[in-house]
Structure 1
Amino acid sequence: MAKAPADRTTRSGNGQVPDSGPITRQRILTAALEIIDRDGIDALSMRRLGKALGRDPMTLYRHAPNKAALVDAVVERVLEQLEVDTDDGDWATQLREVARGFRRLALDHPHVVPLLVTRPLSTPLGLRPLGTLRPLENILTLLTRAGFTATDALHVYRALFGFLHGHVLNELQEIVEQPDEHDDLLRLGLHRLPIGDFPLLRGLAPVLASYDGAAELERGLDILITGLTATLPYPGSPAPTVS
């Protein structure tokens, strides 16, 4: 009796049998993002990715020449989920939606946040992956259609994403030292600070302990958009007066 052919499918790192279908760029990026989400960027390697896909790692180089290119592609994959309605006539409301969308992406993929915030800055603008520039182009389109000059639109983009990058990095930080403590000063470890040198910071312990990322985002956007509205002219509004 003929012997049945051996099953050559290998198991991935999480114990599941990978799909035996053709290797595509999308499958590679999905698997790479899963590894980063689960274990962080340092855990990603061509060897581990090949194992997760049940393929020889050498076959992956047809789609990504090295890890750096793979990481760039993962960043593009995440950012392509950031929607910007360039036809929205209410630019301020649309910027709020973009900000909320960026925060959701950050919370869904916290290990990717350092890549979103710092990796593009290490590359000249014209050499960055095109997908990482799409939010910039879309927001410039939104704002110039609303009547901002291209220069002012760029200032708005920089102000918005400067705020967003700082916000998500701050929100993802672990601020609780002793979660089982009931006293906010002890929970945050602020009791270690000399009271004579940091009276205001220590006094803010209840506020810091009750940090609400969504509410903090909205408060920051209120300040940012109010400031932009007051200082940058746009259609239907007179130029702001300077006292």
Structure 2
Amino acid sequence: MIETPSKRVSVEPFPVVGRETSINRAVVLSTALAIIDGEGVEGLSMRRLGKALDRNPMTLYRYAENKAALLDGVVETVLEQLVVDPSDRDWRGQLHAVAYGYRRLALEHPNVVPLLVTRPLATPLGLRSPGTLRYLEAILELLVRAGFTPEDALHIFRAVFGFLNGHILNELQEVVEKPEETDDLLRLGLHRLPLAEFPRLRSMATVMAHYDGRDELERGLAILLEGLATASPPSSAEA
């Protein structure tokens, strides 16, 4: 069956954080994340954040100089939750675990996924916050310790996260138009497509209606990691 992760997380009524609670950058960013979870990126503004924190919005600029910096901080908050063990001698097993951890974060914060995919592209590596780079550092260390050259380690990282980002965007897209329908063609709204122009797409309604994100990830990872290990085998350590 199709996995239908919740795309909206309810946000507490104002204020999320009261006057009696001191705030710091972590509190500001976690509150911004809660707003994005509940209302999307478009719902986040300094004014909105100020209301949630019961603070004058102008006081928040000491924690983020503008909305762009705030969004970068939210990405950092999420990515810092991604656990990577660079000392694991089973590099494939560790990357498998990291992939599932990344997917879990994406399903918990679907409104943040576009930021995870696009925000890093807006800033050169050397200017990014440390929290957005620690998982990269740990994965490169994992792969170099496994015997891969630095070049191959970077290639593997890019291949794995390119696949992960694409998979997650596919998994989170709205597929079902009418959940109450029992006919897959109607459930997905594919009956609207002219049969003469889209015979193959219409014929695959049942296949698409029973999409399993976890199974799709598992199959893709198996193919990708096996292919990477074959194409660029590590020079030492057990592959």
- Same fold per superposition (TM over 0.5): yes
Give the Cα–Cα distance (whole angstroms) in 1 for the partners of residues 87 and 194 of structure 2.
53
Alignment-mate amino acid for residue 128 of structure 2: R
* Counterparts of residues 182-201 of structure 1 (less than 5 Å): 182-201=182-201
Q: Does structure 2 conserve the Cα–Cα contact (< 8 Å) formed by 1:29 and 1:77?
A: yes
Offset of 1:45 from its aligned partner? Answer: 1.0
Report what 1:91 is aligned to.
91
Residue equivalent to 1:28:
28
- Structure 1 residues 195, 49: closer, same or farther in 2, change over 3 A? same
The 2-side partners of 1:95 and 1:197 are apart by 41
The within-5 A match list for 1:56-67 is 56-67=56-67
> Which stretch of structure 1 is more off in the superposition, 54-63 or 12-21?
12-21
Deviations 1:162-209 (A, max 9, x none): 000001111110011122211111211222333344333222211110
Q: Deviation at 1:56?
A: 1.1
SS at match of 2:219: helix
User: Is the contact between residue 32 and residue 74 of structure 1 (CA under 8 Å) also seen in structure 2?
Assistant: yes
Q: Find the counterpart in structure 2 of residue 119 from structure 1.
A: 119
**Could you tell me which amino acid in structure 2 is paired with residue 57 of structure 1?**
P
Deviation at 1:236, TM superposition (A): 5.3
Aligned to 1:18: 17
Unpaired runs of 5+ residues, structure 1, are 1-11, 238-243
Name the structure 1 match of 2:4.
none
- Name the residue aligned to 1:207: 207
Please give the residue correspondences for 1:11-160 in structure 2 after superposition, counting only pairs within 5 Å. Answer: 14-16=13-15, 18-19=17-18, 20-160=20-160
- Evaluate the alpha carbon distance shift between residue 62 and residue 76 of structure 1 in structure 2; reply closer, same or farther with a 3 A threshold: same
Partner SS for 2:94:
helix
Q: 1:200, 1:88 → 2: CA distance?
A: 45
Q: Note the C-alpha offset of 1:136.
A: 1.4
Return the offset for 1:30: 1.4
**Match for 2:40: what amino acid?**
G
Q: Say which structure, 1 or 2, has more relative contact order (CA 8 Å, 6+ apart).
A: 2
Deviates more, 1:116-125 or 1:188-197: 188-197
Deviation at 1:123, TM superposition (A): 2.2
Count how many residue pairs are aligned between Structure 1 and Structure 2.
Answer: 227
* CA RMSD, 1 decimal: 1.9
Distance 2:53 2:15 in 1: 10
Q: Residue type matched to 2:85 in 1?
A: D
Q: Secondary structure at the match of 2:114?
A: helix
Q: Are the counterparts in 2 of residues 13 and 51 from structure 1 also a CA contact under 8 Å?
A: no
- Greater Rg over alpha carbons, structure: 1
Which stretch shifts more, 57-66 or 186-195? 186-195
With the length of structure 2 as denominator, give the TM-score of the two structures: 0.89
Q: TM-score, normalised by structure 1?
A: 0.88
Q: Which residue of 2 aligns with 1:227?
A: 227
Other-structure match for 2:8: none
Q: State which drifts further: 53-62 or 119-128.
A: 119-128
What CA distance in whole angstroms lies between the structure 2 residues aligned with 1:45 and 1:236? 50
Shift of residue 17, structure 1, vs aligned partner: 6.4
Take 1:222 and 1:160, find their aligned partners in 2: how far apart are those partners? 11
1:119 is paired with a residue whose SS is helix
Partner of 2:174: 174
In the TM superposition, residue 13 of structure 1 has moved relative to its aligned partner by 6.8
